[in-house]
Structure 1
Amino acid sequence: MTAGDVPERMQAAAFDEFGGPEVITLRTLPVPQIADDEILLKVWSAGVGVWDAGAREGKLVPEGAAFPMVPGAEAAGTVAAVGRRVTNVAEGDLVYVYGYTRPKGGFYAEYAATKAEYVAKLPAGVPAEHAGAMPTDALTALSGLDALGLSAGAWVLIFGASGGQGHLAVQLAKRQGLNVIAVASGAEGVTLVTRLGADLSLDGHGDLTEVLARIREVTPDGVDGVLAMAGGATLDRLAEALRDGGLLAYPNGVQPAPRERPGVTVQAYDGETGPERLQRLNELIEAGPFQVHVAETFPLGRAAEAHRRLQTSFPGRLLLAVR
């Protein structure tokens, strides 16, 4: 490891007990030391997601994490130092990361240690200032599309299309040659997914009988797959648009879990990472401009406020600007 200009201590948002957003406070903590297979990331921005709230509440605690606990599963920044066995990135590289395990703390901090296998160079087309909000949802959306396994020219219905994972799934699906029906939240959501290239954009808050009629106009035989970012009664109605033999895929954690129906396969999936997944994601992203829609940005010292904002509805993602 080369020390460079890395300080011994850093600012981080952390908590000493599980609880509500108020437990997160700005702290001064030691900069983590890295192992031979890790990098030290100089964090520019970190995504704020429901999984971070789960960690704060004690429901989704990363393996090996200890108090004071620094949340944050994803970030973008520059490589400040590399371990001896690291070959995929070098000091100074602009990178993004989804830290699947993070025993040395998460990314709500000026510096973070993470395994190099979770790190990839930031591809062309992604604005660096928004990249911290991309990794978890982009990798999970890719896993969802893989679970559906649709061929180019097939029709996919994405429910929750204007959300964090949904709006990235719309873009990744189009890059795979799929026809996309995007069911979004409200007029703002419909505008967003239309701009991102959806073939048919519909408001899930509208009259569902009318929504289903519009879907049947473009897919008389039914859609080939449904990617569901949310559950509930609206999804149950939308699932009627699936053709016989179609597949409904949803990320683990969606509540209530989608119902099994005759003639339809229902499959849960998780976001996966690793060198091959990151390379494939980058190749898809580099096919054209890729938008990470950030609804609101907070400074590191207002992480608790960002967690309160998580409890409301908004298109896209929330972001912490660390630097």
Structure 2
Amino acid sequence: SQTERRPAAPVLDTQAAEKHRLRLINTSVDSHMLVKLDGHSFSVIEADFIPVEESAVDGWLLIAIGQRYDVVFEANQTSGNYWFRAEVATECGSVSNGNGRAIFRYDASDTSTPEDTTETPPTVECIDFPTIPYWKQSVDKDDFAQQAKTLSTGFGEGVTVNGESLLLWHLNTTAMSIHWDKPTLGYVFNGSTSYPQEYDVIEIPNEGVWTYWVIQQVSGSPPITHPIHLHGHDFFVLGHQASSTFDASSMIDQLNFDNPPRRDTATLPASGWLVLAFPANNPGSWLMHCHIAWHISEGLGVQFLEAKNQIVLPDEGQFTSQCSSWKQYTANMAFPQIDSGL
């Protein structure tokens, strides 16, 4: 038999009768997390670094992979020790790695262990905590109706790598795969106007335009929740729905264009859709991907090449030198690329 060994729970000294701010980050590979502090209530004040109107959490707070929340709690309970709990939200995936614990201690002289109530987290819907951005900004509904584009997600495209058969996730009908020694910005640097299909490049030619994206799980793919993360931007979350197919002609009124939630990681519900919008105001090559490590490893990503003529590129000599050094390194690398490279 094997006995599981866990480190002692960390202890955080907590000043009574004060408000405290916690920054909560889900850095897991494949687990949505539920968190709470026994006997205390959280209020969310920030989501993915976006200040939001203070919103009370009813019990447990669900944090998707890659998401960050700033919360405030008031140390207004009887002096003692209280468990901070982090549990895997098994409804959002099949992975269960036990639980995490920490102790919040009001009195440094009291080193007792809190009473363990073995509290069971509630059954939850795998949807993000609703937030309202502190700085109000609306999205143009008419512009959405004219420009929205669909990015489908699916599973099952087979390839063979090093003699092994692999199954891949895809976004925008392509399982993304990049070559480490041929970065996208290298193509831009060399003046290329086309890119390998597997790079899954979507060009946004002009800076300042708004872009709108419907991410839809296709029929037949596994009914899995995907945390979708965008580099280089935060985005507006106009709507989402599980077990549904989005129809812009009949469902546009279900979307929120009046100061919708804004963040950089949002949940695509199982067998459903997620609608996002963001202005192309940051020239560069920006990856959007599922934050489940295995899924981006298997290709569930796309890159937006944004206003490429306005990208500030490095000095030619520096760029060429660094690429040459990298190619020399990868030629004899101990760990060759065996997945999407992301």
Q: TM-score, normalised by structure 2?
A: 0.24
Q: Which has the higher contact order (CA 8 A, sep 6+)?
A: 1
Greater per-residue helix proportion: 1
Q: TM-score, normalised by structure 1?
A: 0.25
